[in-house]
């Protein structure tokens, strides 16, 4: 399945200051009814390293004037957009705070006419109980894409082989709705037409989930 759009952006880690430690950073509840999905409130710390050992994300909670206590329940860390999804609902009136390391990201460039392909791999799970019908189990999911850009510097070329954050906008208006995730830039072609601007064709492959931000 292919998804297309007009504009996008690529962000890379600042080599001079790759990580920013943070403590007691406030969060906001994304789903007020269920109270399981919490996001870091400060945009400066909303992208975390993919490697849990580097990110060192820890979740703390407190109620009223009580001191912070490390949360001992189960939760899933979402490194894009700085989110944690709890297995159990957080009671109303309980504050949630995050500790850890965030990536220092700078925009490497923008592009247009992007195309995104979502794919999956299924393993054959047919048995004698399948009644003669083939059965499959989804084992792998992935995504990849390509885009065009006007060539102006070597940012995309310098990003070849690196893990970056790709943000693909599906709404050019104030809402800034987008698809985003970590990806590896694995292709960069340069074309110099006789009667036009120099353009680049950029190819990337996702590493980890792709998230829809509305």
Q: State pLDDT tens for residues 115-164.
A: 888 876 555 555 666 566 665 454 447 888 888 877 766 677 777 778 88
Note whether 6 and 37 are same-domain residues: no
Report percent pLDDT > 90 for the chain: 33
Note whether 95 and 113 are same-domain residues: no
Q: How many Å is the Cα radius of gyration of the chain?
A: 21
Note whether 140 and 98 are same-domain residues: no
| pLDDT for residue 140 | 47
How deeply is 72 buried, as exposed, middle or buried, from its count of CB atoms within 10 A (0-12, 13-18, 19+)?
Answer: exposed
pTM here is: 0.75
Note whether 110 and 201 are same-domain residues: yes
pLDDT at 196 over 90: no
Q: Which of 69, 103, 137 is the C-terminal boundary of a domain?
A: 103
* pLDDT tier at 188, thresholds 50, 70, 90: confident
Q: Domain holding 207: CATH number?
A: 2.40.30
Instruction: Report yes or no: 27 and 18 within 8 Å, Cβ to Cβ.
Output: no
| pLDDT for residue 126 | 57
Q: How many domains does the chain have?
A: 2
- Give DSSP secondary structure letters for 114-136: EEEEEEEEEEE---GGGTT---E
Taking alpha carbons only, the member of 84, 16, 76 closest to residue 45 is: 84
What residues make up the domain containing 173?
2-12+106-213
* pLDDT tier at 169, thresholds 50, 70, 90: confident
Q: Which of 70, 86, 103 is the C-terminal boundary of a domain?
A: 103
């Amino acid at each position: 399945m292919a998804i297309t759009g007009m504009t996008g952006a690529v962000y890379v880690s600042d080599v001079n200051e790759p990580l920013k430690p943070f403590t007691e950073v406030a969060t906001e509840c994304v789903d007020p009814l269920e109270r399981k999905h919490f996001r870091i409130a400060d945009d400066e710390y909303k992208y975390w390293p993919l490697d849990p050992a580097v990110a060192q994300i820890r979740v703390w909670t407190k109620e009223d004037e009580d001191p912070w206590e490390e949360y001992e329940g189960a939760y899933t860390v979402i490194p894009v957009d700085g989110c944690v999804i709890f297995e159990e609902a957080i009671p109303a009136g309980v504050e949630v705070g995050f500790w850890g390391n965030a990536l220092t990201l700078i925009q490497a460039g923008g592009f247009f006419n992007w195309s995104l392909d979502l794919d999956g791999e299924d393993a054959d799970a047919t048995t004698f109980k399948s009644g003669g019908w083939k059965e499959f189990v989804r084992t792998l999911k992935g995504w990849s894409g390509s885009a065009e850009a006007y060539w102006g510097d070597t940012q995309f070329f310098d990003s070849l082989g690196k893990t970056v954050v790709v943000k693909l906008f599906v709404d050019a208006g104030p809402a800034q709705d987008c698809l985003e995730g970590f990806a590896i830039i694995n292709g960069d072609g340069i074309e110099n037409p006789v009667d036009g601007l120099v353009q680049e064709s950029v190819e990337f492959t996702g590493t980890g989930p792709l998230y829809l931000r509305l």
